[in-house]
Each structure stands twice: as C-alpha cells, then as structure tokens.
A and B are shown apart, each in its own frame.
Chain A
Amino acid sequence: MHKYVSGAALSVALSLGLGTSGFAQETIKVGVLHSLSGTMAISETTLKDTMLMLIDEQNKKGGVLGKQLEAVVVDPASDWPLFAEKARELIEIEGVAATFGAWTSVSRKSVLPVIEELNSLLFYPVQYEGEESSKNVFYTGAAPNQQAIPAVDYLMDEIGAERWVLAGTDYVYPRTTNKILESYLKDKGVAEEDIMINYTPFGHSDWQSIVSDIKKFGSAGRKTAVVSTVNGDANVPFYKELANQGVSAEDIPVIAFSVGEEELSGFDTEPLVGHLAAWNYFMSVEDETNDEFIDAWQSFIGSDERVTNDPMEAHYIGFNMWVKAVEKAGTTDADAVEQAIIGVSVPNLSGGYSTMMPNHHITKPVLIGEIQDDGQFDIVWETSGLVAGDAWSDFLPDSKSLISDWRAPLACGNYDVSKGTCSGQNL
C-alpha cells in the first residue's frame, strides 16, 4: 500500500516538477536581425552583442512579465533581400514578440513590408534620412532634425562657416539628407555657388581629386566646412587624404554623421584630430548611467578596449522602452504594445530621459564632438534641451505638410495637414 502511495506521490511530484520546469521554460522571444557577415558586419556585430547583453541583464532582473527573455539571433549577411526573409523567419517560425535590427536604410525598407504584413514590431537603432513613419517601426536613431540640422547650425553660428561642401556616399540616406540640408542652407541665405555637393560610390578609396577640389573650393578666403555623410569604410582614405594634402581641421573642419567611436577604433586617428561628429551620444559623456553602461558592456564583451557608440545607446533606449511598454500593456501583443509605448520615458545615457513620441520617433539631445587623438570625442557643444524626432522634414516640398501621429483617432503615419487626408502607408 505504502509502496503505491509513495509511488503515486512520486509521480505527482514528478509531473508537477516537470510541469513547473516546463512552465519556467516558456520564454518571450526577441529577434535580433543584424548582419554578422558581409560588408555591414563591421558595424552590426556590435549591436547584436549589445542586444544579447541587454537581454541578459533584463533576465537577471527577473525578465519581463515574469518570463525570461530569449534572444533569437539570425544573420542576414549584409544581403538586403535576405533581411526580409530572415524577418519573416523570426516572426512566423520563431514567433518573436519584437525585433531589434537593421542598419542601412535599404535593409529597413526591405524588412518594412514583412513587419507590416505580419503586424510585428521593429526597433531601428541608426540615424536615418527620415521621410518614413510606420505603425510597426520605432525609430530610435536620429532623424535629420536630430543630427544634420543642429550640426549645420553649430558650424554656421559657432565656427562661422559660409561655404559648404556636402559630401556623401551615393545612396538614399546621404541624398535625402543633403537635399534637406541644401534647402535649409538656402533658407538661411547661403548662395547656390557657395554649396558644393559631391557623391562617391560605396567604399570609395581614391579621394585625391575630391580633396583637391574641396581645397580649391575652400581657398576663396571664406570659412568653409564639409558636412560628410560618407559612410563606413570610405572615411579612412578620405581623412588620410585630407591630412596628406595639408587640410587641417582648423582650416576646413569636417563634420561627420557616420563616424563614431566604433569606426574610429579601426583608424589611425592622428590625421583626424579636431574634425567633428554629430551624434546623440558619445562614449565620453560624463554621467553615472553611462559609466555603468560602459562597465557592463566591457565586462560582458570581456575587453576593456571595446568602445560604446550612438546606435548602441539607441538599442539601450529602444529595448528599455519596449520592456516598459510590455509591462504597461501586460502583454507582448503588437497592437497593445504599440499603443502603450507612446509616451513611455526611459533614461538615456547622457543624463536625461528619452520619450517615445506619437510619430514613433524619440526625443534626444544633440551633441557635437571633436575627435581626439585617443579615438574619443570631446563634446564641444550640445543642444540646450531635447529635440523631438521629426518623421517628415519641414525643408522638403513633398513632406512639408505631412505629420505623423499613431494615436487614435488619427492613427496615421503621413497625415497631410493641407488636404486633411491620410495618404496611406509610406509614400
């Protein structure tokens, strides 16, 4: 008899035990969609590691809604159509609650229809050209008015620049940004002949003629500045050529939107000292949250040589916003989280709070840093308050009258104020 009882008790206990452990294993899956091979691996691998660290830390704090988070990492291999396929895999097969990923605009555009069709959520951490607002995407990087416009203001007011070189890599982000900047400069009274626009292919390595042109353009006796949307690798030979041809930051300062700490770690920074970059975060920000983040990152990655950068901060903000919104909504359901996240504020790494706006962009400070010989930035200027990201630029004729507000009753990403209509998803 006793035998049976204990046997029954054992089986009950066993099944209970299995039950609870089975229950504990139920996790919330989070997709990480960053290239780990190919051209973009240089920038995106770090963001994958950042997400793993953030998820790991959240799990140590007890996860979300009492469940542990589980990162699902896929490798879209810098291949734009593959981004769409991998996103579909993450949502349909893995059933992730939200995806953090993409770097280039073209990869985001590739993922966009999939995310919208399957009604999931994407957090996009990189500065971009704006002119987009999707119900399913949260833009935690800078819009042009959070990076490019303040940078030009700084050069104009503080440095006294009168002639402008807009140099960029030939793709959608630099082209749109330069269009916005050109129209902004003309509004400010800069003459057509004082603006020089130049595009180069991806990975351009022979900058001799362009630097020589910039030098000639800048030798007219008026202060000249270069606004650079040159992307990735092409920056190294660009700055080397500037230095070799004797163009110093005091003569012609270059302000870059795509050069951060991570990129500088692969440079010999000597020729770059004094040139500028505009971001919403620098590793050199003096703040306790930032110190903690840097310590956590360096111990997670196991090297105190590794740096932090702006897109990492964007993931930090985006991830914490998502966690907060899920807890607020009490579910990971995309629609509920989408509504809950608007208005959510979380600390950013520069000593303030960032808030998710109704247009799915966030508020951030804008910082201008000068490159130092140790590959860090010395912050020389910052906006007095936070700047809210503007999805549709006020300086382009097509988007002037558009606004985005995803709250009910408007719930529209591109509402035309002049016509009073919502023109549907993404023009």
Chain B
Amino acid sequence: MFTSGLTPKIWQFAVSTRALPAVFFLCFCATVSAQDGQEASQLQALSEELSSKKKAIQIQAIDQLAASGDERVERWLTALLEGELYRRKGDNRIVYATKSGKLLALKDADTGEPLEEVKKRSVSKLRINNAIRTQLKGLLGTLKLKHPDANIREQAVADLVGKVESAAMPEIRSIYQSETNADVKEQLRLLISVHDLENGSDEQRSEALSYVDGNLHNPVINALRNMSLNAEDDTVRLQATQLLSQAEKKLVWYSRLETLFFGISLGSVLVVAAIGLAITFGVMGVINMAHGELIMLGAYTTYFIQQLLPDFMEISLLLAIPAAFCVSGVVGILIERGVIRHLYGRPLETLLATFGISLMLQQAVRTFVSSQNVAVINPSWMSGSWAVNPALSFTLNRLVIIGFCLLVFALLLLLFSRSGFGLQMRAVAQNRQMARAMGIRSDRIDALTFGLGSGIAGIAGVALSQLGNVGPNLGQSYIIDSFMVVVFGGVGNLWGTLVAGMSLGIANKIIEPWVGAVVAKVMILVFIIIFIQRKPRGLFPQRGRAAEA
C-alpha cells in the first residue's frame, strides 16, 4: 500500500487506549529501500521475541517490527492478528500457514512463496492475547488511515475516535485537510471534535461544541458529561450541560425503541415456537407434550444439513427449512397414527403418552447423536447488527426471525382461510360428526393437521437453532412458553397466538430492566394465572358449537 509516491516524510503517530496506556510509535516511511527478498527481514530477526511467552516482550517486538518501515508490515501484522503466523520448529523461521485438510499449508512470510504442507505439530502458532490484539488493531488502524479504499479509511478513523493522543493531532488535522471523501472527512471531523472537546484550545472547543450538537456517539456523550462537571469556563459548562441534556432526552427515546424491538423479537420467538402448537392443541385439542421435541428435531436437521454441506453454509438455513418441515412432519404423523388417534377424547392419557414420547425422543438423540450440544453455525447474513444511528442498532438475527415469524404466520393464515384443506380442517375441528356426514375423511384430516403442526414446529427449530443451543434439552425450554402463549391467546385462534406472543414478549422486556429476568418471568406467569381465572378461554375465545359443547 505504501508506494513511493507518498511524501517521504517520517512521522510519528501515537495511539493509546485507556486499557493500555502505552504509547506506540510507528513510523510510516516509504523511503526505506525495498528490501532484498533474499535477505532475512526484520520479521525473521524478531522470530524469538515474537513467539515469546512473555507478552511484554511480544509487545515490544511488534512495536519494533511496525517501526521497521518494511512495506510488508501491514500484511504481517494482519496475519498475526488473524492467527495465520506460525513459527517453524527446527529453523525457527516465521511462515504463513493456512488450513489444508488435516495439514497446514505454509508460505514464506518474507517472499510469499508457497512452501511444503506440514503437520500441525511441526509448527507452533504465534499466540496473542487481548492486549496485543488491541495493540495490533491500533497499529493497523493508523496504517489504514492512508489506505486507498475509502471504506477502510472510514472504518480506521471510526476505530480511533476518542483514542488519539494530542501529539498526533497536527497530523490528523492535515489528513483532514487533504481528505477528499466526504464520509471519511465527516468521521475525521468527529475524531477531531472529540479530542478538542477535552483538550483543544478555547476556539477549537467552541467549534467542536457547535459541531457535536445532536451527535449521539458515545465518546461525545462522555466528553460532554465530563465537561458539564469539570469545565472551568462557566459558559462552556452551561453549553455542554445543555447539549448533554438534549442528547440524553434523545437517548431515552432510542432506548425505549430498543426495548420495543427486544420485546417484539422475544414475542416473535414465542410465536414461532407456539404456532405449531396452536394447530395441534388449538385446532385439534391434542395436548402434545412432545411439541418441544419436534422443535428439537428441526434444529438437529439444520445441524445435519450443515454437516452434510459444509460448502453451502450461507444457504444451509434455506435448505433446512423444507427438510425440517418434512422430518418433523413425518415424525408427527407417525405419532398421530401410532399413538394419539387411539386416545382422542382422553386428554389425560394423551398428555401422559406424549410426555413419554418426548422423553423417548430426547434420550434417542442422546444415545444416537450425542449428549453434548452441537454447534450450529450462524451464516454471516445473520451475524452482527444494523446500526440505524450511533445510539440505536438492531441485531440481524433478530430481524430475520421477526420477518420469518410474520411470513410463517401469513402463510398459515392463507392456508387456513383460502384452501380446501384449511376448510376441511376447520370443519373437523368445529363439528366432527357433521363434517364426516358431509363426506370429509376426518381420519386423514387429523393426521394431516397434526403433521402440519409438527412440521411447523420443525421449521421453528430451524429458527431457534440460530438463537440458542441445539441439544437434547432444547424442546424442554420452549414447551411451557408455547402452552402459555396458546392458552393466553385463546385456544383455536391463530390471531390469538400472534397477539398473545407479542404482548407477552413486550411486557416481559418492559418489566425486565426493573426487576431482573427471574422476577420478570415470575410476574408474567402470575399475570397469566390471574388472567386465565378471569377469562378461561383466553384473549380471543373461539365461538361455535364445539366451543360451547
């Protein structure tokens, strides 16, 4: 990245974090002549120190390496940060290594030429810890301030906000002057303002104050808070206090929005988990204690699909959805045909039998797969978050699950109200005898309805595998909540399930910050007990002959 076109000026640049108040000096020099590939580089010379077990020695060696001005420094430091630098036992040469099956493929760190493939034991990794990671990120950040890619520059500046020492400010200001990209310039302005708020001259400070009006970045808020308490100048203190109270008002609103989002996302998890049960319990009246295990089967299906197709991680979830629907659906139909159909009209026996099935399914997974949890990978489009502004961001996996929940709900609603199968299902649920008299094969409808509910539980498993653990006990943690949602919403009503799930989720998240997660859950349960006593049929009681019977 450093071409000789850069100004041949040696400048020092200091970065510090509060965690590590050391000052790292780094010299960017393009003047050092390109080293001869044959000659051992500074990296190899520092081989001993870089692989030292003493972190202080490693830190010093990294500083030396960064100060060497070699043009390969950025690549080396990046590789060190990513854990790709290894030391070859025997000649102690430092190499790049990447996994290649069970072996490691080596590349010479000086020349980049491919070397042999070796076993793991013949090289040892250069291990780094948090302090060194912070150091490397700081060093790379300063290197990247002049990166040709504007996005990388912007990120580098964003990482440095609030962490720059006064000594480096003149250089930053000159970079600001010469920067052409508007976004990067904006970030640099923020970086300079945060510095000036606390350490700038009077003029710089008042300029910074007017700039940060309405800004919600955390370093800005902290600087304002400090100033409102400690600034010597009264007008400055007053101005800072004003800005701070305005910003805090906004923050309160954003945090309410955030709570609402948390509530909706918890609600959608509840709805996703419960909606299969809303069909089997709500429409058919079967108390299916194995519902949780059908969710678990869906989650395990996701795991096996990821294991079978390691190269298609990004789309594995999309493949898992139909697969999980089929697996859980078929198991559901088998349970219905094998056990439940003999027990219609005997809810207690159904409860016991399905509870037994749930234990069998759990133990089967323990025996045939493993009693350990299995690792389901999150595809990259479900990791991280979407930042609306510095004070508000939504996590992607939650957003996807909210969308997924609404989609499944809409499809089910369509199926129920617009398809022949939905009509028959409702007919059987409302009046079995009459439906049979009209020529509906109620047996077949029972099996298919139960299969549908189970299949939906399966795809709920795919969604839930992205949030928590996948293990034999997965189902246990959702079964109580699922029943709670269905009963609260009103048995036999899909809309009831949606409204109940969402309101329980939101209520839970509003209460939680006050009383803690444990008491919040207790309060919700107490509320439901009282509610059910008042309105035994739930939020949306089902009307019709069957309901009155």
Contact = CB atoms under 8 A, between A and B. Distances in A.
Interface of A: 36-37, 39, 41-42, 45, 159-160, 170, 198-201, 203-206, 208-210, 212-213, 216, 219-223, 233, 236-237, 240-241, 243-246, 249-250, 253, 262, 265-268, 271, 274, 370, 372-373, 378, 380
A220 B221 CA distance: 9
A250 B384 contact: no
A244 B396 contact: yes
Contacts of A236: 373, 468-469
B518 A201 contact: yes
Given A208-B266, A262-B372, A268-B377, 5 more contacts: A42-B471, A233-B373, A240-B397, A250-B19, A378-B129
A209 B518 contact: no
The winner among B222, B259, B397, B469 for most chain A CB atoms within 10 A is B469
Nearest to A237: B468
B130 A274 contact: yes
Interface in B233-286: 255, 258-259, 262, 265-266, 269
Contacts of A220: 222
A221 B130 contact: no
Given A245-B393, A249-B130, A208 B384 contact: no
Interface of B: 18-19, 55, 83, 127, 129-130, 133-134, 137, 218-219, 221-222, 226, 255, 258-259, 262, 265-266, 269, 363, 366, 371-378, 383-385, 393, 395-398, 467-469, 471-473, 476-477, 509, 512-513, 516-518, 521
A233 B375 contact: no
Contact of B222 (A208, A210, A221, A249): A221
A219 B222 contact: yes
Nearest to B396: A244
B546 to A, nearest CB: 35
Contacts of A209: 259, 262, 509, 512-513, 517
B513 A201 contact: no
B378 A268 contact: yes
16 contacts: A42-B471, A199-B518, A201-B518, A201-B521, A203-B477, A205-B477, A206-B262, A208-B265, A208-B509, A236-B373, A241-B395, A244-B384, A244-B396, A249-B133, A250-B19, A370-B130
Contact of A243 (B258, B383, B521): B383
Contacts of A221: 18, 219, 222, 226
Nearest to A223: B19
Contacts of B259: 209
Nearest to A373: B83
Contacts of A206: 262, 266, 269
B456 to A, nearest CB: 20
Contacts of A45: 371
Nearest to A243: B383
B518 A170 contact: yes
Given A200-B517, A250-B137, A245 B262 contact: no
Contacts of A274: 129-130, 133
B395 A208 contact: yes
A246 B375 contact: no
Contact of A268 (B130, B219, B376, B513): B376
A208 B468 contact: no
Contacts of B378: 240, 268
Nearest to B137: A250
B129 A370 contact: yes
A266 B130 contact: no
A243 B258 CA distance: 17
A37 B395 CA distance: 35
Contact of B385 (A159, A160, A210, A245): A245
A160 B468 contact: no
A220 B218 CA distance: 8
Contact of B469 (A36, A237, A245, A380): A237
Contact of A41 (B226, B262, B371, B383): B371
A246 B373 contact: no
Contact of A253 (B130, B221, B383): B130
A209 B19 CA distance: 26
Given A220-B222, A244-B383, A250-B130, A204 B363 contact: no
The winner among B133, B383, B393, B468 for most chain A CB atoms within 10 A is B468
A42 B371 contact: yes
B385 A244 contact: yes
B262 A212 contact: yes
A208 B518 contact: no
A378 B114 CA distance: 28
Contacts of B393: 245-246
Contacts of A271: 383
B214 to A, nearest CB: 18
Nearest to B261: A208
Contacts of B384: 243-244, 246
Please list the 8 inter-chain residue pairs (A to B) with the smallest Cβ-Cβ separation, ordered nearest first.
A266-B373, A221-B222, A205-B468, A244-B395, A208-B262, A41-B371, A200-B517, A237-B468
Contacts of B383: 243-244, 271
Contacts of A198: 516-517
A163 to B, nearest CB: 12
B471 A159 contact: no
Contacts of A246: 384-385, 393
Contacts of A203: 473, 477
B18 A237 contact: no
Nearest to A211: B395
A372 B126 CA distance: 12
Contacts of B371: 36-37, 41-42, 45
A205 B476 CA distance: 12
A378 B398 CA distance: 32
Given A209-B259, A209-B262, A160 B127 contact: no
Contacts of A373: 83
The winner among A159, A244, A265 for most chain B CB atoms within 10 A is A244
A266 B372 contact: yes
Nearest to B382: A244
A223 B20 CA distance: 10
Nearest to B509: A209
B377 to A, nearest CB: 5
A159 B374 CA distance: 33
B269 A37 contact: no
Contacts of B265: 208
A378 B127 contact: yes
The winner among B226, B259, B373 for most chain A CB atoms within 10 A is B373
Contacts of B366: 37, 41
A36 B397 CA distance: 33
B258 A219 contact: no
Contacts of B376: 268
Nearest to A264: B375
Contacts of A380: 55, 129-130
The winner among B218, B397, B509 for most chain A CB atoms within 10 A is B218
A36 B472 CA distance: 12
Nearest to A160: B19
Contact of A205 (B55, B134, B373, B467): B467
Contacts of B468: 205, 233, 236-237
Nearest to B374: A266
